[in-house]
Amino acid sequence: MSYRFATLGCTHTGYSARGMRMHRDTRWNLRVVDGQIAYQEAITAIIDAGCRGVWHGGDVTHWSRPLPRDVETVQRLDDLLFDAGLWNGKNSGNHCAGAGSDLSAVSMFDRPTMNSFTVYPDPRRPAEDCVGPHPGLYEIHQPDPEQPIYLHVVSHYGLDPELREQGIDIDPRPLDHGVNILCSHGIFVGDERLYKAAERHGAERLIPTDWVTRGFDLTLLSDYHTPGRVEGFGTADGYGQVWYTGSTVRRGFSDDETPRGWLQVDIPDQGAPQVQLQEIWQRPQLDFEPINASGTTVADLNDLVRSRLAERSWHDPRSAELTGDGGWILRQRIVGASPQQRQGIYELSGEWAQAAADAAYWSFTFENPISAVSLAHPATVQASINERVTDFRIALDERADRGNVAKALRDAPEELREAALARARAVLGAPRQDA
């Protein structure tokens, strides 16, 4: 017999998408309802799968001060878990973390009498209620007193590099007994997908590679929205694997096109923990192939976009059943459009919206648009072209000593810093001659 529990993360309750249709019954942004339904689908499936508990890796809500409707949604699902007899833990993520001295949003879901615990710093907690080694920053929990399974939880707050200046050393290490699982919310330095983790929210927090190589039986991470195993870690017999929970709802087109769901963790009497992604519903989403506007008439662009929108009905029965609205999420990117083309396209926007009426969300965006320049002055034309051609490698080098890039590099372990820069330059282009 094995012990089964579930983990999920980045539910982002309360997340809305600008331009999304309103939900007919509540008049809320439809993406808010999508997030609620996805969270509920996961919890229902977890209970049905015979899991004994649920670990939420963080970013329970999209905002550190969620609306009452979002709090009610999470608490209602927590009630389901309690009624089913499951333990229920939550970590603080970057979206949960309050500004300044404010409490994390997960403080609202800390209900010990309902077997629900959360990890966040609170200086008002009495000593008998604190969990060490560093309450709110790094806590070790045994959620089921009958099972020697220990969650080593490092919260978003516990990844703050400035803690070292306060004499606080966050140094998670497995106990010498039981099953030890490392849990944290941040960007794992050892994952090459770190370089794709754009559109950050709040402070950058990195998880050192060294932590996962200390003998933990398993590492469960949240923050990066693509679920799955991080390759390159773990032994041949399955111990020491690193997994990201991913998210339950896709955040616009900034997230990868990937399944959404939760991770089922099975711990056998003998052998390594086994992890499997369990998928849940998500609203269908399509990013049409970009259109190159160079040398194309507005009439040709109109015909192409209209033909794409007429390819099929953008109505999904499953989404309609769950949310009352079956519309897809659609986007068309147009590259290199001139000012004249953009003006003509704007005049067609109403017709395009009508053609995409079945979709719950439709938009077109311009990428690398051509600026208006005088053809009588070649130098001006060349200057405009130069402004639109970006060398991302040079841009990285220019930011290496300032802003968020500099902070991320400064906070990274010394042995990683140069390797990270070299890897980033290789991805962005040929290395500098003077590097």
User: What is the C-alpha to C-alpha distance for residues 129 and 127, in angstroms, rounded to an integer?
Assistant: 5
* Least trusted range by pLDDT, from 181-195, 209-223, 261-275, 353-367: 181-195
Q: Domain-by-domain residue ranges, the chain?
A: 3-279, 285-374, 392-428
* Phi/psi at 142 (5° precision): -115, 85
Non-local CB neighbours of 100 within 8 Å, separated by 6+ positions: none
Q: Contact, 265 vs 248, CB < 8 A?
A: no
Q: Report which secondary-structure segment, H or E, holds 153.
A: strand 149-154
pLDDT score recorded for residue 396: 72
Average pLDDT over the chain reads: 88
Residue 102 CB burial class (10 angstroms; 0-12, 13-18, ≥19): exposed
Non-local CB neighbours of 38 within 8 Å, separated by 6+ positions: 11, 248, 249, 260, 280, 281, 282
**Angle at the Cα of 112 (from 109 to 113), degrees rounded to 5?**
115
Is pLDDT at 380 greater than 50 in this prediction? no
State how far the alpha carbon of 62 is from the alpha carbons of 22, 59, 92, 189, 376, in Å. 18, 6, 12, 24, 51
Q: Contact, 179 vs 212, CB < 8 A?
A: no
- pTM for the model: 0.83
User: What is the C-alpha to C-alpha distance for residues 19 and 353, in angstroms, rounded to an integer?
Assistant: 12
- Which tokens belong to 374? 């005088």
Q: Could you tell me the pLDDT band of residue 384, with boundaries at 50, 70 and 90?
A: very low
Non-local CB neighbours of 195 within 8 Å, separated by 6+ positions: 423, 424, 427
Three-class DSSP category at 299: helix
Interval 257-295: pLDDT, tens: 999 999 999 999 999 999 999 999 999 999 999 999 998
Q: Which CATH superfamily is domain 3-279 in?
A: Metallo-dependent phosphatases (3.60.21.10)
pLDDT score recorded for residue 432: 39
Query: DSSP secondary-structure letter at 181?
Result: E
Q: Which of 112, 120, 113 has its CA nearest to residue 139?
A: 120
Three-class DSSP category at 327: strand
Q: Could you tell me the pLDDT band of residue 339, with boundaries at 50, 70 and 90?
A: very high
pLDDT score recorded for residue 30: 96
Q: Rounded mean pLDDT of 98-125?
A: 93
Q: Which residue is it, tokens 């950058």?
A: 204
User: What is the C-alpha to C-alpha distance for residues 7 and 138, in angstroms, rounded to an integer?
Assistant: 18
Share of the chain above pLDDT 70, in %: 83
Is pLDDT at 385 greater than 60 in this prediction? no
pLDDT score recorded for residue 424: 75
